Amino acid sequence: MTERFGSSGGPDVNPEQVTEVRFRDQMAAQYVALVAQRGAYWWYAVQRFLLHRMGLQRGGWLYDAGCGVGLYSLAIARQFPFVRIFAVDFSAESLRLLEAAARESGVEERIVCIQADITRWVPPHPVRWVLCTEVLQHIPTESLRLQALHRFAEGLLADGELWLLVARYTLRDRWRGIPKCSDERDRGGSFRMRFTPEELRRLLRQAGFSSVHLFGAPVPPSRVGNRLPPTLWKIAWGVQAVPWSYAWGRVMLAQARRQR
């Protein structure tokens, strides 16, 4: 059962994203198919690398911030039976699909679905991990992005970790004149931005995080990536272990701890 914290698109969602909630509700059923177009290589190079580095075998509580239909929550619940998850999203339809998939997989007892705005919600007790994948880039103002990061810091144990995945603003983007931000909220769509490494570090430090470590994920555009064999993940993981790897690929991963 999903715990309610306001209604989908209601007054407890920040006004900047009310339109996006409706967009996410409408797109929820298509999301898994859309992401699948990235290809198997993408999931080995990004999702599996991330879950491998987080040390989830230790067990504990994890907060999946902006979980959507649960692509990460479900994978974690299936692979790591000692992890329990707060799966939080402001899209009621996304959470409904996540609940159904969790029941089908037999992991519903390990996933607590909560409908809430991640810029405002804090876990009811401290968690070992906060995971936020491809969500921060859709929060449309810097003040709201900082607000979300502050809430993440509040929800962590003293030795807890934040893990972020965001789109990177690449040299290729600059050469092609692709803007860092696109805003389609006035057309019923969503906001999206790409981060430079310097921007991401600054934002995390402003929110009170220290020991910020950035990784790169060497993933090409979808039209290329969906043709790559998943066996290339070994090369990808090797690249990600190299310093400055965050300067390669289209996405960045960040590991950060709270300042003590």
The confidence score (pLDDT) of residue 216 equals 87
Q: Tally the residues of the chain.
A: 260
Q: Indicate whether 132 pLDDT > 60.
A: yes
Q: Indicate whether 68 pLDDT > 80.
A: yes
Q: Indicate whether 256 pLDDT > 70.
A: yes
CB of 88 closer than 8 Å to CB of 68: no
- Calculate the dihedral angle through the C-alpha atoms of 15, 155, 250, 40, rounding to the nearest 10 degrees: -110
The confidence score (pLDDT) of residue 32 equals 84
The DSSP output letter for 2 is P
CB of 180 closer than 8 Å to CB of 167: no
The confidence score (pLDDT) of residue 9 equals 39
Percent of the chain residues topping a pLDDT of 90: 60
Q: Indicate whether 128 pLDDT > 90.
A: yes
What average pLDDT does range 202-228 have in this prediction? 86
Checking DSSP bridges between strand 60-65 and strand 127-133, what pairing results, if any?
parallel
Q: What is the pLDDT of residues 84-126, one digit of tens each?
A: 999 999 999 999 999 999 999 999 999 999 999 999 999 999 9
Checking DSSP bridges between strand 3-4 and strand 111-115, what pairing results, if any?
parallel
The confidence score (pLDDT) of residue 260 equals 67
The confidence score (pLDDT) of residue 34 equals 84
The confidence score (pLDDT) of residue 116 equals 93
Lowest mean pLDDT of 54-63, 190-199, 221-230, name the range: 221-230
Q: Indicate whether 4 pLDDT > 50.
A: no
**Amino acid (one-letter) located at 224:** V
The confidence score (pLDDT) of residue 166 equals 96
Q: What is the pLDDT of residues 5-36, one digit of tens each?
A: 433 333 478 889 988 898 899 989 998 888 88
